[in-house]
């Protein structure tokens, strides 16, 4: 496959090319060496994977110098390091992203071409590390990208799941899950650090004792011990030398000679122990929302948090630091409550393991932690049964009781006689079975608490964390989410990136406020023409992929109306389906009905145990089967469920969208980040006043956004006054006809049972108020249609969306975290 080699310097592409510190000839030589020395192949015998691996190692070599220089900086005592603790990091493929950030994309593409290789084929070979479920995990990945780009010394800490989020197949319209095997062919992006290990304890009991100074102390006598091993992945910033580190922990059994001491001669006991230990990091829980009381999940959380905190304490001690000043060297962010046990663990490390007194240790702890909340759904707030918690972590349980005792004293001081408030705020829920409330622990143990969009933060203050806000308002702040324009525009949408760069230069990639300069071109018909050409090209690419993955033919000149995100009732994919059926009914009633040709595209995974979500997937596919083959429709409407939506596929989906569906029940979606990815790629949004939609609409202008539906306040008051979905049903004949289509069995070969759980839930409960919003949604869709028919108008709106989305860069979000919460400054890295 490798044909010829001549050194030739390529002209740097304006957008994805750029400078490099290696000649083309050097790249070519390194690549060939990796084919031979790393993969053990002659060029002719190299498989596609060998070639991918060789290229990945070639690129990784380019990162290492920067990485080592960055890690050296982390060892300076005069700098402060951000530690981002997250149970999920949904990184997506590394190769293309690293090439863009290095500025080597164009050089490497040409070098590959000269070797007779299509670089896209090599990109395709990379299995993405799917170490996350959805928004929360992807946000963590965007934040790592921005931290490095802004030259902030930072570490990500998490779990090296052997099996990430499952692969989704659609079989007969149903979701079928397959275990992910991202490590099967090896992972060239990680470096194992077998010498960086920590012991993590579980179970057992505690015991008081007196130390040398005669002070009262407690020691933990655990029942079992697991070893955590570090695996490091370099995270390079965009066109900078900062290359931070993502450290993921793998669980292993402690060395066998050590547990021989525990279980004398019990070989099979030792084998069981080994299997049991390695279980901890086997698999990601595939649930985007709550996981009820699964012991292994709690073990995962403590496992990675304990390893990470021990690592920070070790690094800090290497600097000769005095632990009372720990918080001036580390700012730790808790990505949701999953790592919140860290508050108790840091206290244990400081007090039990390092002999600090409680009060100074508590001050260090509070100054170190910040907590980000990501949900308003009450059922998603994590809590653990006290028995389970105390059984696994007897010492942490005691520490939490002590934190609680002191905290509730303060509450009583501030609000004398208000025992209801004390019960509401307690770290322990004692209203029935006793639970540890992780969000309360996180709030009390952090100096900063933030929501992820303005509306979300306001609702946190008013509802979910209201008591905490009343007592400590100074802790609360908003940090509206953002996404990285590197992956979601430059990498995903090279056509649009080139068009933009041709007009305003390439600085927008790091400073997307500059996209505003596109506004002055909205009146240029030639520019609008170009803009449409780019979109059409992206739609053709997606159409090709849809044909490959589903066999469905879609028309790239139809409106691409897309909803991709985890399947959840609050996100209301089924409201979108109701609209499709309504249009279908209009056509059936009058085949001459002038419908705007549309392709409805859905994608997203359902938690394997989430019955309703899986039924919604089946409904989408059943409606697709009927609509796509109906001769009255005659191809004017197409419905597609794109299987296995993930970061890799997302690259083809966001850039191809005309319309972005952001239709959650107001007050339920904390922020949303897909909404930002769509709009940055020139899609217009149809959406509710929920999460960051509110701010997107403010930025792009109300006239460039299709708003509909109840407000969060409307939702609350409707609920309070006894919401009756039947009233909406009775007063809307079109809605009745839509529901009738489903319940009659029209989409299920006459089976009236298949969708009855969905229909009944809508008619009799409708927790997420689809029926209340149906009419408004239909009206807004009518406006969408009208706007789309006027392509010049639509293009203007699309351009203005892109031009005004600068705020939603994760760089802006990270700058705010740095200034308001972490108090950290950039530390540029030099290579010499």
Query: Is 520 known to be catalytic?
Result: no
H helix and E strand count, the chain: 32, 24
Question: Of 296 and 552, which has the nearer Cβ to ligand Z57?
Answer: 296
Q: Which two tokens stand for residue 187?
A: 């992972």
- What is the closest distance, in whole angstroms, from the C-beta atom of residue 156 to ligand Z57 in the complex? 15
Query: Is 673 known to be catalytic?
Result: yes
Q: Which stretch binds ligand Z57 (CB under 6 A): 180-188, 579-587, 665-673, 725-733?
A: 665-673
Contacts of 406 (CB under 8 A, 6+ apart): 362
Residue 135 interacts with ligand Z57 (CB under 6 A): yes or no: yes
Question: Of 138 and 741, which has the nearer Cβ to ligand Z57?
Answer: 138
- Tell me the per-residue interface mask from 474 to 493 with ligand Z57, x by CB under 6 A, - otherwise: -------x------------
According to CB under 6 A, which residues from 277 to 306 bind ligand Z57?
288-289
- What is the closest distance, in whole angstroms, from the C-beta atom of residue 372 to ligand Z57 in the complex? 7
Q: Which stretch binds ligand Z57 (CB under 6 A): 112-120, 131-139, 166-174, 232-240?
A: 131-139
Question: Of 143 and 521, which has the nearer Cβ to ligand Z57?
Answer: 143
Q: Contact, 402 vs 312, CB < 8 A?
A: no
Marked catalytic residue, from 60, 66, 374, 447 = 374
- What is the closest distance, in whole angstroms, from the C-beta atom of residue 87 to ligand Z57 in the complex? 9
- What is the closest distance, in whole angstroms, from the C-beta atom of residue 712 to ligand Z57 in the complex? 14
- What is the closest distance, in whole angstroms, from the C-beta atom of residue 600 to ligand Z57 in the complex? 22
Q: Looking at residue 593, what DSSP letter applies?
A: -
Marked catalytic residue, from 566, 605, 796, 804 = 566
- What is the closest distance, in whole angstroms, from the C-beta atom of residue 135 to ligand Z57 in the complex? 3
> How far apart are alpha carbons 687 and 693 in whole angstroms?
7
Residue 671 interacts with ligand Z57 (CB under 6 A): yes or no: yes
Query: Is 605 known to be catalytic?
Result: no
- What is the closest distance, in whole angstroms, from the C-beta atom of residue 254 to ligand Z57 in the complex? 31
Query: Is 566 known to be catalytic?
Result: yes
> How far apart are alpha carbons 161 and 285 in whole angstroms?
10
> How far apart are alpha carbons 819 and 526 in whole angstroms?
42
Q: Which two tokens stand for residue 760?
A: 């009944």
Question: Of 443 and 771, which has the nearer Cβ to ligand Z57?
Answer: 443
Residues counted in the chain: 832
Question: Of 640 and 805, which has the nearer Cβ to ligand Z57?
Answer: 805
- Tell me the per-residue interface mask from 327 to 366 with ligand Z57, x by CB under 6 A, - otherwise: ---------x------------------------------
Q: Which two tokens stand for residue 86?
A: 């997250």
Residue 39 interacts with ligand Z57 (CB under 6 A): yes or no: no
Marked catalytic residue, from 28, 34, 535, 571 = 571
Q: Which two tokens stand for residue 50?
A: 């060998």
Interface with ligand Z57 (CB under 6 A), residue from 103, 672, 682, 687? 672
Q: Contact, 415 vs 421, CB < 8 A?
A: yes
DSSP3 helix / strand / coil % (the chain, rounded to 5) = 50, 15, 30
- Tell me the per-residue interface mask from 375 to 414 with ligand Z57, x by CB under 6 A, - otherwise: x----x----------------------------------
Q: Looking at residue 712, what DSSP letter applies?
A: H
Q: How far is CA 398 from the centre of its chain?
A: 33
Question: Of 297 and 516, which has the nearer Cβ to ligand Z57?
Answer: 297
Instruction: Count interface residues toward ligand Z57 (CB under 6 A).
Output: 19
Marked catalytic residue, from 638, 677, 697, 796 = 677
**Exposure of 819 in the CB half-sphere (CA atoms within 13 A):** 10
Question: Of 566 and 651, which has the nearer Cβ to ligand Z57?
Answer: 566
Strand ranges, E, within 531-654:
559-564, 598-603, 637-642
Marked catalytic residue, from 149, 665, 673, 685 = 673
Query: Is 648 known to be catalytic?
Result: no
Closest CA to 674 of 492, 457, 504, 477: 492
Closest CA to 473 of 420, 414, 422, 424: 414
As a whole number of angstroms, the longest Cα–Cα distance in the chain is 91
- What is the closest distance, in whole angstroms, from the C-beta atom of residue 374 to ligand Z57 in the complex? 4
- Tell me the per-residue interface mask from 84 to 123 with ligand Z57, x by CB under 6 A, - otherwise: ----------------------------------------
Interface with ligand Z57 (CB under 6 A), residue from 114, 190, 506, 669? 669
Element (H, E) at 251: strand 243-253
Q: Contact, 90 vs 647, CB < 8 A?
A: yes
Q: Looking at residue 596, what DSSP letter applies?
A: P
Q: Which stretch binds ligand Z57 (CB under 6 A): 134-142, 232-240, 404-412, 501-509?
A: 134-142
Marked catalytic residue, from 565, 615, 638, 697 = 565
According to CB under 6 A, which residues from 213 to 242 bind ligand Z57?
none
Q: Contact, 599 vs 558, CB < 8 A?
A: yes
Interface with ligand Z57 (CB under 6 A), residue from 53, 100, 117, 136? 136
- What is the closest distance, in whole angstroms, from the C-beta atom of residue 491 to ligand Z57 in the complex? 20
Question: Of 365 and 693, which has the nearer Cβ to ligand Z57?
Answer: 693
Give CA separation, 495 vs 12, 228, 532, 655, 757, in Å. Answer: 16, 44, 11, 9, 45
> How far apart are alpha carbons 735 and 388 in whole angstroms?
47
> How far apart are alpha carbons 638 and 127 in whole angstroms?
30
Query: Is 32 known to be catalytic?
Result: no
For residue 363, which phi and psi values (nearest 5 degrees)? -65, -45
> How far apart are alpha carbons 335 and 139 in whole angstroms?
9
- Tell me the per-residue interface mask from 436 to 475 with ligand Z57, x by CB under 6 A, - otherwise: ----------------x-----------------------
Collapsing DSSP to helix, strand or coil, 709 comes out as coil
Q: Which stretch binds ligand Z57 (CB under 6 A): 323-331, 669-677, 681-689, 783-791?
A: 669-677
Collapsing DSSP to helix, strand or coil, 23 comes out as coil
DSSP line for 553-586: ---TTSEEEEEES---GGGTHHHHHHHHHHHHHH
Closest CA to 676 of 422, 549, 409, 492: 492
- Tell me the per-residue interface mask from 674 to 703 with ligand Z57, x by CB under 6 A, - otherwise: -----------------x------------
Q: Burial, 509: exposed, middle or buried (Cβ in 10 Å; 0-12, 13-18, 19+)?
A: buried
- What is the closest distance, in whole angstroms, from the C-beta atom of residue 694 to ligand Z57 in the complex? 13
Which residues here bind ligand Z57, judged by CB under 6 A?
133-136, 139, 288-289, 336, 374-375, 380, 452, 481, 669-673, 691
Active site residues: 374, 565-566, 571, 673, 677
């Amino acid at each position: 496959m490798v044909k010829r080699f001549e050194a030739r310097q390529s002209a740097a592409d304006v957008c994805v090319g750029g400078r490099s510190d290696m000649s083309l000839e050097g790249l070519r030589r390194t690549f060939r060496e990796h084919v031979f020395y790393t993969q053990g192949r002659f060029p002719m015998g190299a498989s596609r994977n060998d070639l991918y691996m060789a290229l990945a190692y070639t690129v990784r070599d380019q990162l290492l110098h920067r990485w080592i220089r960055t890690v050296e900086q982390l060892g300076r005592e005069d700098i402060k390091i951000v530690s981002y603790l997250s149970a999920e990091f949904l990184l997506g493929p590394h190769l293309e992203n690293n090439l863009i950030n290095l500025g080597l994309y164009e050089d490497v593409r040409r070098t590959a071409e000269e070797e007779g290789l299509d670089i896209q084929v090599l990109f395709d070979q990379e299995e993405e590390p799917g170490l996350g479920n959805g928004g929360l995990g992807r946000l963590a990945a965007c934040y790592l990208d921005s931290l490095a780009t802004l030259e902030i010394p930072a570490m990500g800490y998490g779990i090296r799941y052997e099996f990430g989020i499952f692969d989704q197949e659609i079989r007969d319209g149903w979701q079928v899950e397959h275990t992910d095997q991202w490590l099967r062919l090896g992972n060239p992006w990680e470096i194992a650090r077998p010498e960086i290990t920590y012991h993590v304890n579980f179970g057992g009991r505690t015991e008081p004792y007196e130390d040398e100074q005669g002070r009262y102390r407690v020691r933990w006598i655990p029942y079992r011990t697991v070893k955590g091993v570090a695996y490091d992945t370099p995270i390079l910033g965009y066109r900078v030398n900062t290359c931070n580190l993502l450290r993921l922990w793998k669980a292993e059994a402690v060395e066998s000679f050590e547990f021989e001491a525990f279980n004398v001669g019990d070989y099979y006991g030792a084998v069981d122990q080994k299997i049991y230990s390695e279980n901890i990091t086997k698999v990601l829980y595939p649930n985007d929302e709550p996981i009820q009381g699964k012991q292994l999940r709690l073990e995962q959380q403590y496992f990675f948090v304990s390893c990470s905190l021990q690592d920070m304490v070790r690094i800090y001690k290497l600097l000769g630091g005095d632990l009372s000043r720990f918080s001036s060297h580390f700012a730790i962010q808790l990505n949701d409550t999953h790592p919140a046990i860290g508050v108790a663990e840091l206290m244990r490390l400081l007090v039990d393991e390092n002999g600090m007194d409680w009060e100074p240790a508590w001050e260090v702890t509070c100054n170190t932690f910040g907590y980000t909340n990501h949900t308003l759904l009450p059922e998603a707030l994590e809590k653990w049964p006290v028995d389970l918690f105390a059984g696994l972590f007897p010492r942490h349980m005691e520490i939490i009781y002590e934190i609680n005792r002191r905290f509730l004293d303060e509450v009583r001081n501030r609000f004398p006689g208000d025992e209801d408030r004390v019960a509401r705020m307690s770290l322990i829920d004692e209203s029935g079975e006793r639970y540890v409330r992780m969000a309360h622990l996180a709030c009390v143990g952090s100096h900063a608490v933030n929501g992820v969009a303005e509306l979300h933060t306001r609702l946190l203050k008013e509802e979910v964390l209201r008591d905490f806000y009343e007592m400590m308002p100074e802790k609360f702040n908003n940090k509206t989410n953002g996404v990285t324009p590197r992956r979601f525009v430059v990498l995903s949408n090279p056509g649009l990136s080139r068009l933009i760069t041709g007009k305003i230069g390439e600085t927008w990639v790091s400073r997307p406020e500059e996209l505003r300069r596109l506004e002055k071109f909205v009146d240029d018909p030639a520019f609008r023409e170009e803009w449409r050409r780019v979109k059409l090209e992206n739609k053709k690419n997606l159409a090709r992929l849809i044909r490959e993955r589903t066999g469905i033919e879609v028309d790239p000149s139809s409106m691409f109306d897309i909803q991709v995100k985890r399947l959840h009732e609050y996100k209301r994919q089924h409201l979108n389906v109701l609209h499709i059926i309504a249009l279908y009914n209009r056509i059936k009633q009058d085949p001459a009905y002038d419908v705007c040709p549309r392709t409805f595209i859905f994608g997203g995974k359902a938690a394997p145990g989430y019955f309703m979500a899986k039924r919604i997937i089946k409904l989408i596919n059943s409606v697709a089967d009927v609509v796509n083959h109906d001769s009255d429709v005659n191809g004017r409407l197409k419905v597609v469920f794109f299987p296995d939506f993930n970061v890799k596929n997302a690259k083809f989906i966001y850039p191809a969208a005309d319309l972005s569906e952001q239709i959650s029940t107001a007050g339920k979606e904390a922020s949303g980040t897909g909404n930002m990815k769509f709009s940055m790629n020139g899609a217009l949004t149809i959406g509710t006043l929920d999460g960051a939609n509110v701010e997107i609409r403010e930025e792009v202008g109300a006239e460039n956004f299709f708003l509909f539906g109840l407000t969060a306040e409307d939702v609350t008051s409707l609920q309070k006054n006894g919401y009756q979905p039947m009233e909406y049903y009775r007063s809307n004949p079109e809605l009745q006809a839509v529901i009738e289509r489903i319940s009659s069995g029209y989409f299920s070969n006459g089976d009236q049972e298949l969708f009855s759980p969905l229909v009944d839930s809508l008619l009799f409960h409708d927790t997420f108020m689809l029926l209340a919003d149906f009419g408004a949604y239909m009206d807004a869709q009518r406006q969408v249609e009208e706007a789309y028919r006027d392509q010049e108008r639509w293009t203007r709106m699309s351009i203005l969306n892109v031009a005004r989305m600068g705020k939603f860069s994760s760089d802006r979000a990270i700058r705010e975290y740095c200034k308001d919460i972490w108090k950290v400054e950039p530390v540029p890295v030099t290579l010499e």
